[in-house]
């Protein structure tokens, strides 16, 4: 098999695993269904990932990178701290929505311990980015002085994760309303 074919098989497996784990969680996910969906031999999954847990971890790490990109791309946003904060929140809600199935699987239905830290790392970076933008906006007089930037950052993340992870996840227009409400609560 060529290197390109191996990468393609690995990608097919990861996409199929994301769908399976996103729909059924870790406990309900089945390697045989993943293999069938990917169109590969079940043993190839074990060759690439070692185990079901290794495959699940690879899926979570890929989602984690997508969520982390929301913070990284926010650093170059134009405008003042409030515009940057709004842009960061829009990217955060978008990244979480794009990974809603896995977010639900890891925060609501998962029985594994090792999956949660992988998704928490980018959320911690996002929390820091929100906290810094709120502090900067406070220093410039755009945000109320009576709010703690750390509390605001945790509240923002809890709102974003909750609006996506809970059953009946928010459609994009509701996410925009949630962002607008968060921004209004911060400003004078």
Residue 80: per-residue pLDDT: 86
Q: Which domain holds residue 115?
A: 3-186
Query: What pLDDT, on the 0 to 100 scale, is given for residue 161?
Result: 81
* pLDDT at residue 81 greater than cutoff 80: yes
Asked whether the predicted pLDDT for residue 108 surpasses 60, the reply is no
User: Which one, of 150, 123, 127, lies nearest residue 138 by Cα?
Assistant: 150
Q: Alpha-carbon distance 129 to 153, whole Å?
A: 8
Cα–Cα dist 113/156, whole Å: 24
pLDDT-derived band of residue 120, with 50, 70 and 90 as boundaries? low
Angstrom distances, CA of residue 110 to CA of 26, 76, 119, 126, 139: 6, 35, 13, 23, 41
* pLDDT score recorded for residue 42: 94
**CATH number of the domain enclosing 45:** 1.10.357.10
Domain count, the chain: 1
- Among candidates 157, 162, 163, 161, which has minimal Cα distance to 177? 163
Task: Give me the count of residues in the chain.
Answer: 188
> What is the rounded average pLDDT for all residues in the chain?
81
SS3 (DSSP) at 179: helix
The partner residues of 187 in beta bridges, in order of sequence, read 143
Give percent of the chain with pLDDT exceeding 90. 28
Least confident of 53-57, 98-102, 115-119, 120-124: 115-119
Alpha-carbon distance of 84 to 64, in angstroms, equals 22
| Residue that is written with structure tokens 């031999």 in the block | 41
Higher pLDDT, 176 or 4: 176
């Amino acid at each position: 098999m060529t290197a390109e074919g191996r990468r393609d098989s690995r990608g097919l497996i990861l996409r199929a695993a994301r769908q399976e784990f996103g729909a059924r969680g870790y406990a309900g996910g089945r390697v045989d269904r993943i293999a069938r969906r990917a169109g590969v031999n079940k043993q190839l999954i074990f060759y690439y990932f070692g185990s079901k847990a290794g495959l699940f971890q690879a899926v979570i790490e890929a989602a984690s990178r997508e969520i982390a990109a929301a913070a990284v791309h926010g650093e170059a946003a134009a405008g003042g701290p409030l515009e940057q904060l709004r842009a960061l929140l829009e990217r955060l809600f978008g990244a979480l929505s794009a990974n809603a199935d896995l977010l639900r699987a890891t925060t609501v239905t998962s029985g594994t311990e090792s999956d949660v830290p992988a998704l928490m790392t980018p959320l911690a970076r996002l929390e820091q980015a929100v906290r810094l933008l709120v502090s900067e906006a406070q220093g410039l007089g755009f945000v109320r002085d009576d709010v703690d930037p750390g509390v605001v950052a945790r509240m923002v993340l809890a709102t974003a994760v909750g609006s996506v992870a809970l059953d009946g996840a928010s459609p994009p227009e509701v996410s925009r309303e949630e962002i607008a409400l968060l921004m209004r609560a911060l400003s004078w």
